[in-house]
Amino acid sequence: MASTAAASQTPSVEGITLRGRDFFWGKQTYLMGVLNITPDSFSDGGRFNTLDAALQQARHMANSGADILDIGGQSTRPQAEDVPLEEELRRVVPIIDALRRNGDTTPISVDTTKAEVARAAVAAGADLVNDISGATFDPAMLPTVAELGVPIVLMHLRGTPKTMQQLTDYQNLIADIAEFLTDRAAAAIAAGIAPKHVILDPGIGFAKTFAQNLEILRHLPQLHHLGWPLLVGPSRKSFIGHILNQPDPQQRVWGTAATCCAAIQGGADILRVHDVAEMRDVCKVADAIWR
């Protein structure tokens, strides 16, 4: 089985180093702060799509305790349209370049499914790639990341953001996610990416129903046992709004906190969040209990 092949190549090291910062998996939970340079993201679209606003938010998240800044120029909300390459480059590269020119040393992740955006972002100062497609949308992504020598987050997704919520029929949700992720990890290694540079994400909210998102959180230890570091991104998502009867994503902070606690208990290594200061407190207490 593919999962057996991938499991035999899981990293023997305990972490990675990004821009002089050590990330030791299993020792603490790390926070990835979300910075959407988009007009249409589900939670904060249009708030940070100017250079000054994006720089201010990046500094705020770094000062609030973000271990990584995740900068993206393509909305991945349900029904989102694909952004042309040139537009995504125009949105993403200047903010990364400006942060580095201003002396910011916080590790930066570029949230993209396009190899050329990944290449340009790393050239501007990004340190890792976060690909919601598991590097399936662009066949050049894995060899490009291997050439660049940076880590990559491979997320589980069916279809595209425009079609994904029509593709939620699974034979066995957790087993299907595990098979996809282990196959993508094996593909990354076959492309020349170092095993220690592979991070997996079960894709909460992507081609998942309300009930399936909860099932992932309940069974996260099964995915953690695959042997790879895990990123989990529940922040402000619609399943939390469903539980709370809260249509405003920005009012889902404490619901997000509950999901972050569950993710930490389940073995998540990185949490991708919007509300960094609040989730930093959550991580400190949850880490003290479980780690």
Q: Which of 172, 186, 178 is nearest to 203 (CA)?
A: 178
Phi and psi for 46 in degrees, rounded to 5? 90, -10
Q: Smallest Cα–Cα separation from 180: which of 206, 215, 151? A: 206
Cα Rg, the chain, nearest whole Å? 17
Determine contact, residues 34/68, Cβ cutoff 8 Å.
Answer: no
- The secondary structure of residue 79, as a DSSP letter, is T
Annotated catalytic residue within 91, 184, 236, 237: 237
Residue 70: CB atoms within 10 A of its CB come to: 25
Catalytic member of 114, 196, 208, 272: 272
Cα–Cα dist 38/69, whole Å: 15
Sheet with 128-131, edge to edge strand ranges: 198-201, 152-155, 128-131, 108-111, 68-72, 30-36, 270-273, 231-232
Does residue 272 have an active-site annotation? yes
Round to whole Å and give the CA distance between 102 and 108. 14
Rounded to the nearest 10 degrees, the angle between the axes of helix 115-124 and helix 85-101 is 20
Q: CA-CA distance, 249 to 56, in Å (whole number)? A: 21
User: CA-CA distance, 21 to 224, in Å (whole number)?
Assistant: 23
Question: By the 8 A CB rule, do 181 and 223 touch?
Answer: yes
Catalytic residues: 237, 272
